[in-house]
Amino acid sequence: MTGPADVERVFRAEYGRAVAVLVRLLGDIDLAEEAVQDAFATAVDRWAADGPPPSPAGWIITTARNRAIDRLRREASRADRHAQAARLYALDPPTEEGPVRDDRLRLIFTCCHPALGPAARVALTLRLLGGLSTAEIARAFLVPEPTMAQRLVRAKAKIRDAGIPYRVPREADLPDRLRAVLAVLYLIFNEGHTASAGQRLTRADLCAEAIRLGRLVVDECSGSWRGAGPAGPERSPLLPDEPEAVGLLALMLLTEARRDARTGPDGALVLLGAQDRRRWDRGLIAEGQALVRRCLRWDRPGPYQIQAAINAVHADAASVAETDWGQILALYDQLMVHAPGPVVALNRAVALAEVAGPAAALAEVDRLDLAGYHVRHAVRADLLRRLDRRAEAVAAYDAAIARTANAAERAFLRRSRDLLACPGS
């Protein structure tokens, strides 16, 4: 028997692929979404009675295509609607190889088109490629569901009205457009890694979705199907040797490898230095480090690759005492060249504290214009604590607590402040 949970697993794995194929066939995002949703609703009953088909993805795509034809005919009020339905009906059923692979990449680039704002890019990517509901996306980004629904409606309308093409950009435009895609995936992952609000420190679903899409981009950008040869289908590169896509995937894998160790049994935040490294996922670490080595062979460093290398150094250390902080500081110096900014400088100051001491790091932190960023105040509080400047450290903890909406972070900061404020501690 196939139950709703089985259909849900197929939905999570294949929704984006099915929508991408239907968008290509229909040229209409809303109609494509509705047809795919109808197909999955049908699957709940049909698969429960008949069992799952040999190719669930192919079944969903074919059923969605037929649903779209029916809807076009039913709602047709003009000759072009009839013509569109006839054209769809005449098409061969979509295969699962060949254009299906490229369809997903086309849809990612459409969602991340520069004509859309950053928030709309993230929302559309999660909706169309990830299959997240409007309510799920709204919860992730701290806006009411009607607000997110309107954001999605406006983004899809802009794609339609501005004639944003559903395609992989031309070769000359690919590097800039790919940067926009990677930035969206990075935003999704960061929101999952440390949720901006809520009771839980992390959002594992968002991390998993960002990694899944990151794998897709790396895979798709390494080649596209170009026909069968003697040994089967061959691939030619769409964007050959693009190390930043690989670097981002490595960064996400190495960061995700520590997720289970970042919280205790009660959900409390555990900082890197206090984590039980036996709980780190060695499989993800091995995969991430292999990708970092692959990037090093290209010798074309960029921000995601450097951040991945920093995380690889942390992963190499059996304990915090064995961490090569000198190498990490050198990597942050390199990151400041490629992506200068106050948040990078703040993270560099954390490494500087381990190499040159907390006083040197505090001088750097005090120069940063990050008054509204809770992490800056938390780092400053810890440096002041290490310098035995307790009253100032307590005030810095209070500033950090006031600036975060994540309950797990707030609880950790309160415990640190209260421990410091206790006489004799």
Please spell the DSSP secondary structure of 258-318, one letter per residue. Answer: TGGGGB-TTS-B--GGG--GGGS-HHHHHHHHHHHHHHHHHT---HHHHHHHHHHHHHH-S
Per-residue confidence at 94, pLDDT binned at 50, 70, 90? very low
The model's pLDDT over 337-351, given as tens digits with 9 standing for 90+, comes to 999 999 999 999 999
Asked if the model's pLDDT at residue 362 lies above 70, the reply is yes
**Contact (Cβ atoms closer than 8 angstroms) between residue 94 and residue 100:** yes
- CATH class of domain segment(s) 4-90: mainly alpha
DSSP-based three-state secondary structure for 210: helix
Q: What is the pLDDT of residue 26?
A: 84
209 vs 76, which has greater pLDDT?
209
Helices (H), 51-78: 56-75
Q: What is the pLDDT of residue 98?
A: 38
Q: What is the pLDDT of residue 89?
A: 54
DSSP-based three-state secondary structure for 226: strand
The model's pLDDT over 272-296, given as tens digits with 9 standing for 90+, comes to 999 999 999 999 999 999 999 999 9
What's the N-to-C CA distance of the chain in angstroms?
60
Structure tokens at 274: 């206090």
Q: What is the pLDDT of residue 178?
A: 87
Nearest to 168 by CA among 239, 118, 227, 65: 239
Per-residue confidence at 95, pLDDT binned at 50, 70, 90? very low
The model's pLDDT over 11-22, given as tens digits with 9 standing for 90+, comes to 877 888 899 888
Domain boundaries, the chain: 4-90, 97-227, 241-340, 344-425
CA atoms within 13 A on the CB side of 353: 22
- 4-90 and 344-425: same fold? no
Q: What is the pLDDT of residue 296?
A: 94
Most confident segment among 92-106, 111-125, 384-398? 384-398
Asked if the model's pLDDT at residue 139 lies above 50, the reply is yes
Strands 224-229 and 405-406 turn out to be: unpaired
CA 136 from centroid of its chain's CA atoms: 15
175 vs 164, which has greater pLDDT?
164
Q: What is the pLDDT of residue 365?
A: 98
Asked if the model's pLDDT at residue 170 lies above 70, the reply is yes
**Amino acid (one-letter) located at 98:** G
**Amino acid (one-letter) located at 395:** A
Q: What is the pLDDT of residue 302?
A: 96
Segment 135-148 shows an average pLDDT of 85
Asked if the model's pLDDT at residue 249 lies above 80, the reply is yes
92 vs 330, which has greater pLDDT?
330
Residues β-bridged to residue 356: none
**What stretch of H or E contains 198?**
strand 197-198
What's the whole-model pTM score?
0.81
CATH annotation of 344-425 = 1.25.40
